[in-house]
Amino acid sequence: MDPDRRAFLRRAVAIGSGGLAVAASPARANSSSHIEAAPQAMGVLVDVVRCSGCRRCEAACAKANGLPEIDPEELEDQSLFEQARRPGPDSFTVVNRRTFNHDDGTSAVYVKQNCMHCVDPACVSACLVGALRKLPDGPVTYDAQKCMGCRYCMVACPFEMPAYEYARPLTPRVRRCTFCFDEDHANGGTIPACVQACPKECLIYGRREELIAKAHERVARQPDVYVDHVYGEFEAGGTSWLYLSPVPFEQLGFPPVAASSWPRLTESIQHGVFKHFMPPVAWCAILGLTAWLTRRREIPFGVDSASSDNGQVGRDRIAVVHGDVSRLEESHDEPQCAADILAR
């Protein structure tokens, strides 16, 4: 959904609620407290510098989640990068290419994108029936049996990650990365399939707080390689998926999301609705408007064009962006794979 459309919807919701959303209430006062990640919260650090764009993570994700499988030959098809893609009901994660002009020509970086599994998720807050749930371990889970299909979560998500199964009119679901969470898993979670599949150790699974420390270590050790920004440490109140990049994140198409926890708006609306007993017809009108505005989303997550010129990039970073990670491998920063994390 483009920003103008999103802004319009939020204004419409505010008007529809007759300003009730901003009414002071004990619930709203309580909701203003910042939710911190639990100590046991797990996450994934995505080091964009190391990504080769092989898309094996996509293939592993599809297989692990019972989605349409990706043939090995398909992974060789570079033409796929000519158009930016976004996660959808049949692909919980996608890798896009971003290109940059610089003095020596053009270089590219590859960016894996999926649900960020926010620390304080707006989608969870927006869901009126509790179909979405945040677990202390990190994942945001979804219960299709509870979902009423209002798609309000799609509007609330600052990263525009939930996708709707329009192709299943009778039993549509909201689909997004599951964090490969298995409700029956003894430890409450498992190493994501995409992490296990990545041959470049671009994806690191571990405790969120340790990943943040590791990310800052990498930046401090190689400031000529990385921008000094761990995306997801603070954005939207923090996310389980964290990113390191050789170029500013806006050049990767990441939305400039504020650091404050995102659910305040959506909680305010809900609390206003229930405190002031909004007439059901008004609420139905809002949900109807939401459904209409979210009926199709063609614009990729935070990406206007995978081939657009995003300006100049420092030469040192370009050396890495070219795909030569030897400098990284020469460093003392040994990449950690999922097995390393498990072995702890």
CA distance 170 to 2: 27
The only residue of 31, 93, 290, 294 in contact with ligand SF4, by rule CB under 6 A: 93
- Please report, as residue ranges, which positions from 193 to 212 form the binding site for ligand SF4 (by CB under 6 A): 193-194, 197-198, 200, 202-203
192 binds ligand SF4 (CB under 6 A): yes
Q: How far is the CB of 63 from ligand SF4 (least distance, A)?
A: 9
Which residues, in sequence order, are bridge partners of residue 242?
45
What are the DSSP E strand ranges found in the chain? 42-47, 94-102, 105-113, 132-134, 140-142, 163-164, 174-175, 203-207, 241-244
- Please report, as residue ranges, which positions from 127 to 146 form the binding site for ligand SF4 (by CB under 6 A): 140
CA distance 52 to 70: 17
55 binds ligand SF4 (CB under 6 A): yes
45 phi/psi in degrees, rounded to 5: -95, 120
The only residue of 20, 109, 161, 204 in contact with ligand SF4, by rule CB under 6 A: 161
Q: How far is CA 56 from the centre of its chain?
A: 18
98 binds ligand SF4 (CB under 6 A): no
Binding range to ligand SF4, per CB under 6 A, among 14-22, 186-194, 288-296, 318-326? 186-194
37 binds ligand SF4 (CB under 6 A): no
Instruction: Specify the residue for token string 């650090």.
Output: 45
Instruction: Specify the residue for token string 């525009």.
Output: 160
119 binds ligand SF4 (CB under 6 A): no
117 binds ligand SF4 (CB under 6 A): yes
Of the candidates 307, 335, 327, the residue with the CA atom closest to the CA atom of residue 101:
307
DSSP 20: G
CA distance 24 to 38: 29
150 binds ligand SF4 (CB under 6 A): no
- Please report, as residue ranges, which positions from 205 to 244 form the binding site for ligand SF4 (by CB under 6 A): none
Residues that bind ligand SF4 (CB under 6 A): 51-57, 60-61, 64-65, 92-93, 95, 110, 112, 114-118, 121-123, 140, 157, 159, 161-162, 176-180, 192-194, 197-198, 200, 202-203
